[in-house]
Amino acid sequence: MTKFHQQIDDLEADIDALSDAAEQCRKSIIVAKVAVIVGIVLFATSVLGLVRSDGTILVIGIAVAIAGIGLFGSSRGSMDQLVDKIRVREARRAEMIDGMNLQVVQDQ
């Protein structure tokens, strides 16, 4: 295998690993959104008196909503960085493939 082929294989492995990490971030974003919704619902039910509590539900609701917001921001930032890295590696891979001067084979 030539040096270019090995470098392209390495770039493709990096792209796959980064794509997997971005997928994990996407899942974390979904969990964060659910946490925010649950926190808001707990907060609202406590404030509106739909659930009798000593304030525990209110505090838990606030804490869950804040944690969800933090997780969302962190995951979103990480995903944006990963997507940028994927784009750079894909561009480099395309550049390397174009530089190989491959010839098109015609069907006969």
Q: What is the pLDDT of residues 6-45, one digit of tens each?
A: 888 999 999 999 999 999 999 999 999 999 999 999 999 9
The model's pLDDT over 52-97, given as tens digits with 9 standing for 90+, comes to: 777 888 999 999 999 999 999 999 999 999 999 999 999 999 888 8
How far is the C-alpha of 68 from the C-alpha of 73, rounded, in Å? 9
**Cβ atoms within 10 Å of 65's Cβ, excluding its own:** 19
If one compares 9 and 105, the residue with the highest pLDDT of the two is 9
CA distance linking residue 62 with residue 70, whole number of Å: 12
How far apart CA 48 and CA 59 sit, in angstroms, is 14
- The pLDDT value given to residue 69: 97
Find, among 32, 26, 11, 36, the residue nearest to 78 by Cα. Answer: 26
Helix (H) or strand (E) holding 1: none
Please check the confidence at residue 4 and state whether its pLDDT lies above 80.
no
- Is the pLDDT score of 107 beyond 80? no
User: In sequence order, what are the residues at sequence separation of 6 or more whose Cβ sits closer than 8 angstroms to the Cβ of residue 37?
Assistant: 68
